[in-house]
Amino acid sequence: MLARWLRALAAVVAGNALYFLLAAPALPERLRHRPFAPDAGLGFDFLICLALYLALGGLTGVRRRR
């Protein structure tokens, strides 16, 4: 349980860092996230975090099988 929580925390922190530092400045204004508003930028940020969460889960799954 703790491992899943730490994996989710790592994915959210790293995903938000990637989005706000690398992706957001390159996006057009209408695709950037505005605070406290559901918009396309929030969805894109979510997809980055989800991809990282799944990638981290895949990496730990490979380690467990060996």
In a domain, 53, yes or no: yes
Amino acid at 45: D
- DSSP letter at 35 equals T
Residues 6+ apart with CB under 8 A from 15: 45, 48, 49, 50, 51, 52, 53
CA dihedral of residues 30, 32, 36, 37 (deg, nearest 10): 40
In a domain, 22, yes or no: yes
In a domain, 16, yes or no: yes
In a domain, 33, yes or no: no
In a domain, 24, yes or no: yes
Residue 65 has a pLDDT of 54
Residue 9 has a pLDDT of 96
Give the count of domains, the chain: 1
In a domain, 60, yes or no: yes
Tens digit of pLDDT at every position of the chain (66 positions): 898 999 999 999 999 999 999 999 999 988 889 989 899 999 999 999 999 999 998 776 655 555
Residue 26 has a pLDDT of 93
In a domain, 42, yes or no: yes
| H helix or E strand, kind and range, residue 44 | helix 40-65
In a domain, 50, yes or no: yes
